[in-house]
């Protein structure tokens, strides 16, 4: 470790550089518009938070990149994703600040910005890619590949990440290694299949024999049941899964999906609590981006109406569409379709259950 000297706040935070980075175009052009400062600072703050998010995601990808993930890391990964989530909440809230600028205020300097556009934010694309958004699933924008606005060097970085490790792929590989799917003679999928069949039968009978449901209610409930049934069937059929995956409608491998289902169903077992928290965080990150995209689209619409953005896009429509299309962890969302009530859940054999607890629990109890 090098020797270190004292340091002051101003110097530590590079404030001189930081606070001289706001250069309103309207001022340079001799027609100062008061509101341009806000426009610049809002975007700079976004970029600073983006840097922080990348810092966290990079570290999480790193933890999951080894074949053997240190268990200690899962807790740390969850904590770092929690931080990403807190930052996202702030980014969503920040839109309200931009909305304190009226559309008329914006027009005072909008013309000078051409063709600068948020679509040119490299860090934003980096985050999407790091999380696992693949080029093939992206909406095109002005009929150009999304990365055509970046210089070659930045495009290479994006491609490198996409073909290497992303959160989605690292977590998928980790899920595939879960040893519990067939474990100590307990075949999870087989037991789950039986439980689903029993449950559906029971529900069907209850509906048919009911003396308080009207006929139309009966048929409505049977209808609900039927649609559940077909969803359940798809999860028992690896081949069907792979077809959907080939069509881009599913992202995760069959094995990873089943592992995620197991973790979700038995999430209260001590050894599965943190892995479950990890999956939950990923779903929440996805949801938060979606919310941000949606709010961002609203804000653009409010600012421009039907005008075309400085980047040449039909702003609102493109942005609103990314909200629904650029989701990355939909497969985890969809797990909810496959859940069954705890009362129907196959009991874990005692020796499996013990293994899912802490080794120490036995000793601890004895030592009390």
> Which one, 61 or 304, has the nearer CB to a copy of itself?
304
Each residue 126-165 as x (binds a copy of itself by CB under 8 A) or -, in order, gives ----------------------------------------
> Which one, 7 or 136, has the nearer CB to a copy of itself?
7
Length of the chain: 368
Stretch near a copy of itself under the rule CB under 8 A, chosen from 51-59, 188-196, 237-245, 253-261: 51-59
Cα gap 238→260, rounded to integer Å: 15
* Residue 244 binds a copy of itself, judged by CB under 8 A: no
Three-state secondary-structure class, residue 181: coil
- In terms of C-beta distances under 8 Å and separation of at least 24 residues, what long-range contacts does 133-137 make, across chains too? 133/326, 133/328, 134/162, 135/162, 136/248, 137/248, 137/325, 137/326
Stretch near a copy of itself under the rule CB under 8 A, chosen from 156-164, 185-193, 209-217, 238-246: 209-217
Each residue 210-239 as x (binds a copy of itself by CB under 8 A) or -, in order, gives --xx---x--xx-xx--xx--x--------
* Residues 73 and 62: beta-carbon distance below 8 Å: no
Q: Which residues inside 3-22 make contact with a copy of itself, applying CB under 8 A?
A: 3-15, 17-19, 21-22
In this chain, which of 25, 138, 255, 326 binds a copy of itself, going by CB under 8 A?
A: 25
Q: Is the peptide bond prior to 68 cis by the omega test (within 30 degrees of 0)?
A: no
Bridge partner list, 186: 183
Q: Which residues inside 248-307 make contact with a copy of itself, applying CB under 8 A?
A: 264-265, 267-271, 273-274, 283, 287, 290-291, 294-295, 298, 301-307
Q: Which residues inside 340-359 make contact with a copy of itself, applying CB under 8 A?
A: 340-343, 355-359
| DSSP tag of 337 | G
* Residue 83 binds a copy of itself, judged by CB under 8 A: yes
Q: Which helix (H) or strand (E) holds 258?
A: helix 254-265
Cα gap 49→46, rounded to integer Å: 5
């Amino acid at each position: 470790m090098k020797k270190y000297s004292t340091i002051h706040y101003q110097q530590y935070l590079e404030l001189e550089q930081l606070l001289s980075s706001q250069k309103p175009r309207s001022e340079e052009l001799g027609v100062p518009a008061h509101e341009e400062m806000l426009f610049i600072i809002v975007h700079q703050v976004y970029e600073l938070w983006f840097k922080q998010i990348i810092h966290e995601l990079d570290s999480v990808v790193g933890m999951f990149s080894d074949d053997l993930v240190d268990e200690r890391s899962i807790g740390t990964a969850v904590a770092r994703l929690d931080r990403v989530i807190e930052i996202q909440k702030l980014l969503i809230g920040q839109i309200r600040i931009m909305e304190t600028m009226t559309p008329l205020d914006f027009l005072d300097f909008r013309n000078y910005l051409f063709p600068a556009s948020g679509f040119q934010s490299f860090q934003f694309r980096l985050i999407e890619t790091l999380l696992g958004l693949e080029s093939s699933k992206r909406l095109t924008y002005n009929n150009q590949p999304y990365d055509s606005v970046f210089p070659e060097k930045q495009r290479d970085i994006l491609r490198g990440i996409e073909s290497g490790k992303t959160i989605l792929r690292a977590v998928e590989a980790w899920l595939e290694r879960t040893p519990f799917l067939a474990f100590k003679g307990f075949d999870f999928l087989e037991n789950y299949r039986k439980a689903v069949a029993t449950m559906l039968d029971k529900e069907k009978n209850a509906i048919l024999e009911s003396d308080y449901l009207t006929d139309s209610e009966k048929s409505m409930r049977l209808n609900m049941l039927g649609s559940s049934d077909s969803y359940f069937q798809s999860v028992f059929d690896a081949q069907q899964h792979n077809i959907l995956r080939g069509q881009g409608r599913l992202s995760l491998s069959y094995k990873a999906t089943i592992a995620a289902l197991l973790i979700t169903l038995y999430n209260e077992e001590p050894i599965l609590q943190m892995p479950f928290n990890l999956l939950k965080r990923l779903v929440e990150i996805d949801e938060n981006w979606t919310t941000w995209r949606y709010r961002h689209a609203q804000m653009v619409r409010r600012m421009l109406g039907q005008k075309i953005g400085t980047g040449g896009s039909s702003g609102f429509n493109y942005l609103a569409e990314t909200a629904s299309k650029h989701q990355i962890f939909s497969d985890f969302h969809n797990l909810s379709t496959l859940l069954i009530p705890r009362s129907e859940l196959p009991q874990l054999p005692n020796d499996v259950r013990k293994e899912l607890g802490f080794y120490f629990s036995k000793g601890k109890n004895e030592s009390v």
